[in-house]
């Protein structure tokens, strides 16, 4: 019999930002590797399907989860070293991402300001390589420690080992269902430079009269933009962008542009193009529309919202209708960003 603080038939409603009701067969708060090791050593627990939960901001619960939810709650943030180029800061997986970013700024350390106000936890940030306003986690990432359920060891992964891509990493592929992130170390440049090229950010800084912006100015600009454009999950259930921006060939983008004036696209380093999924969905007329209690946010068509009492299936039905429309009108397949359970 384990002495772990397990709970059974546990409601996950308060732990997903969509605010969807679903129950977990078993739920366990996790503060570090020892708890995970105890799970691994317990034959009954180790046999259950696992769901690692951070801030629950990238999750769509379409059913009850007949397994073990591992809720990462470990806390702690510290400066762990520096060299000529970087200051290294480490945060435990359970820390709130925005709280951590604000803490680095309060220490006088710039580098993460463009990623202010992204919902979620520190441990989840590298899994989908969160990004906003021209910066991704991979750009400031140094290393992370994770518990490996296969070996029972704590492993350290550097940037190359994480195989970061657009909203993607090794944790969605080879290490899926295997490694659980314990803490993450970031390398923040000592010679800080503003990254304010993104049009929305440049405009917000101009409005504020910040010609030589500090990291704090950029954080404030990003917070203002996000507050204006994106719904606060504490008030309207949502999981941020519901779809990834699709990547298409230059040929396909040119053909689309010839047919659809105003198509928003961004050239990638390899010559392909990322299309603004929000624009595609908007053009299909979905902005502000709903199916039952699931809706498309009125200020950003890429964000699906729980209008009140939605089940995961309601949101999934709306998402499917949007995917079908975008495919029919533009010939482009949209891929959801959140994990579906």
- Please give the residue ranges that form the binding site for ligand EPU (CB under 6 A): 132-133, 200, 229, 240-241, 244-245, 264, 276, 278-279, 282, 287, 300-302, 337
Q: Which is nearer to ligand EPU, 165 or 293 (CB)?
A: 165
Radius of gyration of the chain (CA): 21
Q: Which is nearer to ligand EPU, 122 or 302 (CB)?
A: 302
- Side-chain-side CA neighbours of 78 within 13 Å: the count stands at 6
Asked whether 93 and 123 are in contact (CB, 8 A), the reply is yes
57 is catalytic: no
Q: Which is nearer to ligand EPU, 102 or 195 (CB)?
A: 195
228 is catalytic: no
Rounded least distance, CB 231 to ligand EPU, Å: 11
From the candidates 50, 167, 226, 253, which is the catalytic residue? 167
Q: Which is nearer to ligand EPU, 27 or 286 (CB)?
A: 286
Rounded least distance, CB 215 to ligand EPU, Å: 17
From the candidates 95, 113, 136, 337, which is the catalytic residue? 337
Q: Which is nearer to ligand EPU, 49 or 288 (CB)?
A: 288
Rounded least distance, CB 320 to ligand EPU, Å: 18
Token pair 């090229």 is found at 197
Q: Give phi and psi for 272, each to the nearest 5.
A: -80, 175
Rounded least distance, CB 241 to ligand EPU, Å: 3
Q: Which is nearer to ligand EPU, 86 or 297 (CB)?
A: 297
Rounded least distance, CB 286 to ligand EPU, Å: 9
167 is catalytic: yes
From the candidates 57, 241, 265, 283, which is the catalytic residue? 241
Which amino acids are annotated catalytic? Answer: 167, 241, 337
């Amino acid at each position: 019999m384990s002495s772990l603080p397990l709970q059974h038939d546990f409601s996950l409603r308060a732990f997903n930002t969509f605010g969807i009701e679903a129950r977990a067969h078993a739920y366990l708060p996790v503060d570090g590797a020892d708890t995970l090791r105890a799970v691994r050593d317990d034959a009954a627990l180790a046999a259950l399907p696992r769901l690692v939960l951070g801030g629950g901001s990238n999750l769509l619960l379409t059913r009850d989860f007949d397994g073990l939810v591992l809720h990462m709650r470990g806390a702690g943030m510290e400066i762990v070293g520096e060299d000529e180029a970087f200051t290294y800061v480490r945060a435990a997986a359970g820390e709130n991402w925005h709280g951590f970013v604000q803490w680095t700024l309060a220490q006088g350390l710039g580098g993460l300001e463009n990623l202010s106000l992204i919902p979620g936890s520190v441990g989840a940030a590298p899994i989908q390589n969160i990004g906003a306003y021209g910066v991704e986690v991979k750009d400031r990432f140094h290393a992370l420690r994770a518990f490996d359920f296969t070996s029972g060891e704590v492993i350290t992964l550097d940037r190359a080992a994480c195989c970061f891509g657009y909203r993607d990493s090794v944790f969605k592929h080879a290490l899926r269902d295997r490694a659980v992130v314990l803490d993450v170390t970031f390398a923040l440049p000592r010679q800080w430079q503003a990254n304010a090229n993104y049009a929305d950010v440049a405009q917000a800084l101009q409005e504020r009269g910040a010609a030589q912006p500090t990291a704090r100015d950029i954080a404030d600009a990003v917070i203002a933009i996000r507050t204006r454009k994106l719904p606060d999950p504490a008030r309207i259930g949502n999981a941020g962008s519901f779809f990834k921006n699709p990547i298409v060939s230059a040929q396909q983008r040119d053909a689309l542009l010839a047919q659809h004036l105003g198509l928003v696209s961004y050239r990638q380093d390899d010559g392909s193009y990322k299309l603004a999924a929000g624009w595609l969905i908007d053009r299909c007329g979905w902005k502000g529309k709903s199916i039952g209690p699931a809706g498309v946010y009125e200020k950003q068509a890429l964000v699906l919202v729980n209008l009140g009492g939605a089940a995961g299936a309601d949101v999934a039905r709306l998402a499917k209708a949007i995917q079908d429309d975008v495919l029919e009108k533009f010939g482009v397949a949209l891929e959801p960003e959140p994990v579906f359970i």
